[in-house]
Amino acid sequence: MKFTSKKHIYFLYLLLIFPILTHAQIEMRGSLSGKILDKNGSPVIGANLVLQPDMHQVNTDKKGVFLFRNIIAGEYSITVSYIGFKTYQNTVLIEAAKNNTINITLEEEENALQQVIVYGKETKVDNLLDIQRSAMPVTVITKETIAQMGSRRLDEILKEQTGIAVVNDIGGGARAVGVQMQGFGSDYVMILIDGQPMVGRNSGNFDLSRISVSNIERIEIIKGASSCLFGSEALGGAINIVTRHGAFQPQALASFRYGSLNIVDATLEGETPFHHQRGSANISANYYRTDGFNTDPNFLSGGTTAPPYDDYTLQGRVRYRLTENGTLGASGRYALRQSFMKQIFGSNENQNSAGDSQDITDINLSVTYDHNFNNGLRSMSRYYLTRYVSDMSILWEESSSQASAEKFAQTLHRFEQQFSYSATANLKFTGGLGGNVEQMDNRDFNVPGGLWSSFGYLQGDWKISDKFEAVGGIRYDHHSSYGGKFNPSLGLQYHIIPKLTLKLAVGSGFKTPDYRQRYQIFMNPVANYLVIGTEVLRATLEEMKNNGQISEVRDYLVNQLDKNLKAEKSLSFNGGFTYSPTQNIKVDINGFYHNISNQINSIRVATGTNVRDIYTYQNLPKSFNTGLEMSASVTPFSGFDISAGYQYLVAKDRAVMDSISNGTGAYASIRDNTTGLFRKSKLSDYFGIENRSRHMANLRLAYNYTPWDITANVRVNYRGKYGFVDNNNNRFLDQYDIFVDGHFLVNAGIEKKLIKQRLSIQLTADNIMDYTDRLMPGQPGRVVLLGLKYRFYKE
């Protein structure tokens, strides 16, 4: 590892000195001019034009004429806006040493369609798989949306999306926080950066606050089984973070935000082309800190329930065109988190202070080589390395006794060769082959040689006719301990009429058991239980038996479970339609059904003489998440957007349902804790799986007043009541158990841009109503932040 981190630093150093070494060449520049007209051919005076990614800005003159001078040649996205007209967006090519012209006719407001998303034009720099053309429904969050929200960390962005929640996993400890999507827990949602998997989980939970949003181009969210694209782990969906890439002109950005909880969010970014535009590089550094927050002051006399932390992130990317058709790229990310959370219970001689510390190091490195062949074939060779090191411990300060300690390191190497081929304009193929090796070091277990797996896939995107489109694919994964798995997916779109599109999708997913479930022997001395990974179950029990530590073993379970943990599987169905009755209204309705089988759960296999309970893991028959998701957006007039989303969800475990129906053990009865009476339980008493809300909704109002360069937004998020813990010992959630109340969280932001949009001042307020609940230890109260951002670039 020493070698790579040195190399990494060297690479970052190179990135830093690029802007000094390079000078834009005048002969590489061109200009763009033209006229902006309305539908009657009259000039539009004072219309605002922006060229991205370099943020060049001009306004039209009295004749509706504009001119961008001295622009570095390349492909730009142009945006034209003027009050009373719909915003126009397109791509333009500016050729060197030439005056390029374009005339644009703006449509009037009543026809305005705010959905100006032109994704087809995006250049895919390091991943040929088009995630936005996945069979399963995809949501894309753009960097403009992120900027408007004023969010700092990825969890803050995602928890405002329809059907997504960020939840604390109490059983996993105070730091176990993960994302939940259409009812799937964090274990089943794969997190990727530029199409490569990120690692590092705490009891299965991926803490999204590790990721800064400062250098993100967009976020792609796939809801539903996506193993067809990504293999194991994408059983319930995937979240792909696309980092920024490629500017045509040297530019830099500095931003600083400060406010409640002593939150500091500071970012420095630089981008530049080099060597006559053949190369481009960018680098971004972010520092973030927070004091954390105490949602439980009645019981915690000091300290916090949401951890304070200091995060440092350094990210960079460099690309260089070696030949006409070949481009070499590299990107890297280095993230460090240091966190110490104190929790003080009681007072005076009965005071107990827990000192909970966590250090995380996270490295992602990737090298790509992109080659275009003359026959329309494109190749992308990718190597990726990621390493995650986590060191956590909890110490009781008064007695200097340790409550828990865990240290582990996880390393993944991956090589992948991708191809894409456009057979005709309407038929595209993407395929790939690759291999992984994964290593895990933990003081409790170690797997010699690591886990090997290999994969191959083929995806097709076929526009059969003007009315009918199909996307689909198949992926094969081979795992050194789990053999082969095929995962197909298919998505169909049928444009019944131009205003109404019907969509159907089906896909499968799987997840191989993780290291912990297979090899870890985990003792919790405080709660006095032992969990034994299935691969070492029999051997460990034998050893304990010989030492006289076992009082009872359920042998039939050991015979059945030893070295016999199967991969979890899922099957997802999605179906719905998109309806745009007029151009400024869009409605999406989608029903989903996810069936999960072989779900892994713990089961008690033995009783010890000292240790009360000994557990291992088993596959449970089935559970399911089903529901309905709706979204609607309306643009009543130019600059004002209203969008709303709603999700109805039922998530239930079929094993629990069977146990209730059959009256098995504890499931048979239900206790009303107010009367103290027990009665027989019925299937209708079952509320569903913990942490899942039946109803979730959001509403977003955004207003952009271009003449003043002011944008403002208000977002309201509702989360319906959800089960917290079983309180009457029947092991399922019923009406007498503990629930977290349904609640609204209101966020808002206002931003004003000055000095030709170079400077921006932003005021944001999260959780304006200051709503907190001790059962939501991770949700802080009101946070108000003031931010300043300045962009540096040459006119």
Which residues 323-362 are close enough to bind another protein by CB under 8 A? 343, 345-346, 350, 352, 354
| Minimum distance of another protein from residue 731's CB (angstroms) | 7
Nearer Cβ to another protein (447/714): 714
Question: Is 620 near another protein (CB under 8 A)?
Answer: no
The backbone region for 497, taken as left when phi is positive above 0, alpha when psi lies in -120 to 50, beta otherwise, is beta
Stretch 380-399 residues interacting with another protein (CB under 8 A): 394, 396, 399
Which of 675/684 has CB closer to another protein?
A: 675
549 touches 532 (CB < 8 A): no
- Residues 2 and 8: their CA atoms lie apart, in Å, by 10
Q: How far apart are CA 271 and CA 22, in angstroms?
A: 12
Q: What residues numbered 744-773 form the site for another protein, per CB under 8 A?
A: 744-746, 769-773
Of 212, 203, 200, which Cα lies nearest the Cα of 185?
203
Q: Output the smallest distance, CB 149 to another protein, in A.
A: 18
Closest to another protein by CB, 343 or 420: 343
Spatial CA neighbour of 320 closest among 364, 273, 388:
273
Stretch that binds another protein, among 66-74, 274-282, 306-314, 609-617 (CB under 8 A): 609-617
| Rounded least distance, CB 770 to another protein, Å | 8
The binder of another protein chosen from 40, 42, 375, 400 (CB under 8 A): 400
Contacts of 33 (CB under 8 A, 6+ apart): 65, 66, 67, 68, 99, 100, 101, 102
Does the bond joining 53 to the residue before it have cis omega, within 30 degrees of 0? yes
- Residue of 94, 135, 158, 174 interacting with another protein (CB under 8 A): 174
Closer Cβ to another protein, 470 or 768, answer by number: 768
In the bound state with another protein, the residue whose beta carbon lies nearer, of 673 and 757, is 673
Closest CB 212 distance from another protein, rounded Å: 27
Q: Which is nearer to another protein, 375 or 399 (CB)?
A: 399
Among 111, 665, 707, 756, binds another protein (CB under 8 A): 665
Q: How far is the CB of 739 from another protein (least distance, A)?
A: 9
Rounded Cα–Cα distance for residues 723 and 688 (Å): 8
Tokens linked to 328: 């070499």
| The only residue of 743, 753, 758, 782 in contact with another protein, by rule CB under 8 A | 743
Neighbour tally for 357: CB within 10 Å: 16
Gap between the Cα atoms of 644 and 714, Å rounded: 12
Nearer to another protein, 280 or 294 (CB): 294
In the DSSP assignment, the letter for residue 383 is E
Of 661 and 673, the one with the shorter C-beta distance to another protein is 673
User: Which of helix, strand or coil describes residue 443?
Assistant: coil
Please state, in angstroms and rounded to a whole number, the distance separating the CA atoms of residues 230 and 191: 10
CA dihedral sign of residues 561, 569, 451, 199 = negative
By CB under 8 A, how many residues form the interface with another protein? 78
Residue 299 Cβ, how far from another protein at the closest point, in Å?
5
Distance CA 556, CA 686 (A): 30
Please check whether residue 281 is in contact with residue 266, taking contact to mean a CB–CB distance below 8 angstroms: no
Which of 635, 653, 492 is closest to 575 using CA atoms? 492
Q: How far is the CB of 344 from another protein (least distance, A)?
A: 10
> Smallest distance, Å, CB 744 to another protein?
4
Stretch that binds another protein, among 250-258, 330-338, 591-599, 726-734 (CB under 8 A): 726-734
Q: Contact with another protein (CB under 8 A): which of 728, 747, 762, 779?
A: 728
Cα 50 to Cα 45: distance, rounded to the nearest angstrom: 15
682 near another protein, rule: CB under 8 A: no
Q: Is 676 in the site for another protein (CB under 8 A)?
A: yes
What x/- string results for residues 274 through 293 when contact with another protein is judged by CB under 8 A? --------------------
Query: What is the DSSP code (8-state) at residue 63?
Result: T
CB of 581 to another protein, least distance (A): 18
Strand locations in 236-372, DSSP E? 237-243, 251-259, 263-274, 279-290, 300-303, 309-321, 326-345, 352-372
Least distance from another protein to the Cβ atom of residue 338, Å: 20
By CB under 8 A, tell whether 173 contacts another protein: yes
Question: Is 134:226 a contact under the CB 8 Å cutoff?
Answer: yes
Shortest Å, Cβ 662 to another protein: 16
Shortest Å, Cβ 413 to another protein: 33
Maximal C-alpha separation, the chain? 94
Q: Considering only 106-114, 190-198, 241-249, 718-726, which stretch makes contact with another protein by CB under 8 A?
A: 718-726
Contacting another protein (CB under 8 A), which of 729, 735, 756, 794?
A: 729
| Beta carbon of residue 37, minimum distance to another protein (angstroms, whole number) | 26
Contact 583, 113 (CB under 8 A): yes
Q: Establish if 610 lies at the interface with another protein (CB under 8 A).
A: yes
Q: Which residues pair with 719 in a beta bridge?
A: 696, 743
For 629-654, the three-class secondary structure string (H helix, E strand, C coil) is EEEEEEEEECCEEEEEEEEEEEEEEH
Query: Considering beta carbons, is residue 406 or 709 the nearer one to another protein?
Result: 406
Q: Rounded to the nearest 5 degrees, what angle is found at the Cα of 764, between the Cα atoms of 760 and 766? A: 160
603 burial level (CB within 10 Å; 0-12, 13-18, 19+): middle
User: Among 310, 391, 658, 726, which residue interacts with another protein (rule: CB under 8 A)?
Assistant: 726
> Using CB under 8 A, which of the segments 376-384, 503-511, 721-729, 758-766 binds another protein?
721-729
Binding of another protein at residue 777 (CB under 8 A)?
A: yes
> How far is it, in rounded angstroms, from Cα 205 to Cα 197?
14
Going by DSSP bridges, is the β-strand pair 521-524/529-532 parallel, antiparallel, or unpaired?
antiparallel
Two structure tokens written together for 36: 């902006």
Strand partners, 264: 258, 289
What distance in Å separates the CA atoms of residue 720 and residue 627, rounded to the nearest whole number? 14
Q: Residues 77 to 136: which contact another protein by CB under 8 A?
A: none
| Among 24-32, 76-84, 319-327, 670-678, the segment contacting another protein (CB under 8 A) | 670-678
Task: Kindly tell me which of 281 and 531 has the beta carbon lying closer to another protein.
Answer: 531
The footprint of another protein on residues 576-605 (CB under 8 A) is 602, 604
User: 510 and 232 in contact (C-beta within 8 Å)?
Assistant: yes
- The first and second tokens of residue 152, run together, are 């700092």
Residues 19-78 that bind another protein (CB under 8 A): none
Could you say which residues in the range 627-646 bind another protein, by CB under 8 A? 636-637, 640
Task: Work out whether 673 is an interface residue with another protein (CB under 8 A).
Answer: yes
Residue 716 lies near another protein (rule: CB under 8 A): yes
Among 108, 741, 757, 788, binds another protein (CB under 8 A): 741
CA distance 399 to 397: 6
Name residues contacting another protein, limited to 515-544 (CB under 8 A): 523-530
